[in-house]
Amino acid sequence: MLILLAFIIVFHITSAALLFISTIDNAWWVGKDFSTDVWKVCINISNCTAIDENSSEYQSVQAVQATMILSTILCCVAFLVFILQLFRLKQGERFVLTSTIQLLSCLCVMIAASIYTNKHEDLHKSYGYPFDILSGQYGYSFILAWIAFAFTLISGIMYLVLRKRK
């Protein structure tokens, strides 16, 4: 039982780490000489410009930013609730509250990645970059966001099925 508990904790911490990396790092859309995410655009790694409200698609970027931040916060809160429920639940009860919070985190990261998937071309066209940004491809932060979606979904379902034992 202790090994299962350790696995669940490591899996949850991994989910949170993936969410932090995908939210913070500048690699949602990458190309030969540039990288961009939901916060800034970097040309040659050193020349970075923050994404601001001068774009017609700025609302989409703000939606992605908000849902990724909310997803990360909910994942951390779910971990704290899980630790508290380990000591507070009676034997045989399920971790329903932890599961609900983790599934909400899963929903938020799915919404953020879906919005970015749908709007990334319009977003990048609206800024008028001096290079062909559409020649890029999805970066590892974007891929990590989708992996974090899968991890939070699996852990949310795992918490729903899990019962507290001695």
- What pLDDT, on the 0 to 100 scale, is given for residue 131? 62
Contacts of 17 (CB under 8 A, 6+ apart): none
Q: What is the DSSP letter of 40?
A: E
pTM, whole model, 2 decimals?
0.88
In whole angstroms, give the CA distance from residue 11 to residue 26.
24
Phi, psi of 119 (to 5 degrees): -105, 0
pLDDT, tens digit (0-9, with 9 covering 90-100), for 134-160: 678 899 999 999 999 999 999 999 988
pLDDT, tens digit (0-9, with 9 covering 90-100), for 51-103: 778 777 788 889 999 999 999 999 999 999 999 988 887 877 888 899 999 99
Contacts of 114 (CB under 8 A, 6+ apart): none
